[in-house]
Structures are given as structure tokens and as C-alpha cells.
Structure 1
Amino acid sequence: MVPSHDAPSLGRCGSPLAARREDASGFFQFPALNTSVAQARSRVLAQLREWGVDEVACDDARLVVSELFTNAVRHTDSERVSCQLRVDEAHVRIEVADEGHAPTEPRARRSGADEESGRGLLLVGVLSRAWGVRPDTGGRGRVVWAELPHGRPAH
């Protein structure tokens, strides 16, 4: 899927359940270390399960967060990486923000069969309804976001 840089943010919608999810603690940050990737995956899984998000979407969100956190840790000069989660009736929105600037903007690329990395954003594109990149509101760094569907029956 081609990233959409101006897709709308998932804010509050009319239902009390969505408002309760939006008000829950959906923000966390960790040091920009490789060990933080596993912590981010665990935190996302716990939060989405608390909100009652289906297991298929939880698994997809864990994978997306893992890819986005890994990219922020490996490819920026950040000291901390943060994550914001939002949920409405049909989507999970994940935003991973870094503090540093990388030489290029994140984009999906094709990797050779022998390469061990480089497929993460292709995976994010497959699992997401949309994804994109925007500058961080603080003026330093950027936010890579993805919107995933949820509410699907388990396989």
C-alpha cells in the first residue's frame, strides 16, 4: 500500500467505548535501545488487550510496532522513542515518534533474497489500511504512523 501522508487522524468518535479507549493511557516512551523494541511490543499488546481489541489486530499491531520501533532505534539519532495508540470501532492507529533526523525518509523498498533486513515497511504496508510519515510536532524528528483494521474474526 502506498503511504498516505495526509490521512485523517483517528480522534474521538461518538461511542462511549471509543471515548473510553481514547482516554486510556495510550502513550509510552522508551530509550532508543534495541532492548526497547521488545518492551514496546509487550506494552502495545497489553494495552490493546485491555481495550478489547481482537487477537488478529493485536498480533498485527505488535509486528507493526516492532518494525517502526526498530527503524527509529536503528536509523535515527534519538535518545528516546515514543508510541501513541488510538482505537475506534474499526481501526487501531499507531504513531511511533523519534527525536532525531535520519538522512532519508522511511519508505518501503524491495530487498534481495539474500538480504537480512529491509522488508519491515513492506510488511507494515501489507498489514495496514494506510501508513505514512509526518514531522513531529516538537519540530525535531518525525512520526511514522499506521492504521490497522480491527474487529475481524480470528482465523
Structure 2
Amino acid sequence: MSDWRASREAVELARLGVSELLANVAKHTASRRCGLRLVRVGADVVVQVFDESKQLPVVRTPDWCSEDGRGLWLLREMADGFGYMPIPLVTDTSYRLGKVVWFSCWGALPEAGAA
């Protein structure tokens, strides 16, 4: 994102969001294999994490006295967009469902052609 001249705030949000989503893969999925993709759409950035679990995340209002359970809620509140959906995972020998969890940072980048 630095190469795209993203705002400092967007870079920090992306760091926080990627850390949260990858930690969730490590904690909540049987296979820790995953993928990360950043997509530039005009001045916006969409960050996607793919994994091999078909179990969709549950975002709920946190129990503020608990030591965990608030990461996705915070990410959803801080990002301009947030979502998840099942996706097909296809290899040479199999087909199964996995998922993608994503968040977006709107206006994080200078418009194309801007100095």
C-alpha cells in the first residue's frame, strides 16, 4: 500500500485488519493455509483473506469484560466496508467450499493520474 501512496491511516487499518484476519485463520480453522490479496479499485483498497474453512465468521457485540471476541467487531466498525462469503476452492483433484473475509478502505489512495 505504501507503493500505492496510501494514507497513513489506511496503512494502519490494513495492518490491524490483516493481523486480525490471519489470527482468526490460525485460531479457528483446521488448515492454516490461506491467501491474502489487496485489490486497488480507483482510490479504494479492498483487503481479502481466503481460507479453507467453510465456517463463516460470527460478528457480535463484544463482551467488554472478555479477553477476546472483539476483533472482527472493531474491524467492521473501523473499515469502510466489511463482509464475508463462501467461495469455491478448486485444485487439480478436488472441489470444496472455503471462504473469503474482506474489508475496504475508501479513498485511501490518490486518484489515478494525481501527482
Same fold by TM (over 0.5)? yes
Pick one of 67, 81, 88 that aligns with 1:137. 88
Partners of 1:54 and 1:79 lie apart in 2 by 30
Q: Which residue of 2 aligns with 1:72?
A: 25
Aligned residue pair count: 103
Q: 1:116 and 2:63 equivalent?
A: no
Stretches (4+) displaced over 4 A: none
Aligned-residue CA RMSD in angstroms? 1.7
Q: 1:85 and 2:33 equivalent?
A: no
Partners of 1:56 and 1:74 lie apart in 2 by 27
Q: Which runs of 5+ in 2 are unaligned?
A: 90-95, 111-115
CA contact (8 A) 1:127 1:148 kept: no
| Structure with the larger helix share | 1
Q: CA deviation at 1:72?
A: 1.5
Q: Which residue of 2 aligns with 1:44?
A: none
Partners of 1:101 and 1:78 lie apart in 2 by 11
TM-score (norm 2): 0.79
Q: Percent identity?
A: 33
